[in-house]
Amino acid sequence: MMAEYDVNQAAVARARDLIDKHQYVLDSDWGEVQPDAARENAYLERHSWAEYGAWHLGLTRGATDETKGRYAFVVGDLRRVHRSALIACVYRAGEWRHKEVELAAHGLLQHLDRTSG
């Protein structure tokens, strides 16, 4: 059975705020810069689960709160939003038919392109 996700509205709001404050990277290789487990763990040592969650557009239905499994579709490097991350979210959510997450990521990508344009 495929995981199901709800849109994390806190993450959408946080990403929009970061974009509005020009806290973004327009050109990056997402495969190289996306946070790995060690970086996520280091982040969680200094930040709350709510802060960690605000980097993820998807909330996994049925997953336990305050676990990494609860969060999906990361939009940045835990410092700035990455355009390449938003593109990856649109693509991956679209591929697996998570339409609400896909649309949220697409909306953020359009907002980033308008803001940075």
Q: What is the per-residue pLDDT across 36-86, written as a single tens digit (0 to 9) for each?
A: 999 999 999 999 999 999 999 999 999 999 999 999 999 999 999 999 999
pLDDT band at 9 (very low <50, low <70, confident <90, very high): very high
Give pTM, 2 decimals: 0.96
Helix (H, G, I), strand (E, B) or coil at 71: strand
Judged against a pLDDT cut of 80, whether residue 1 lies above it is answered with no
The domain tally of the chain equals: 1
Domain that holds residue 24: 5-116
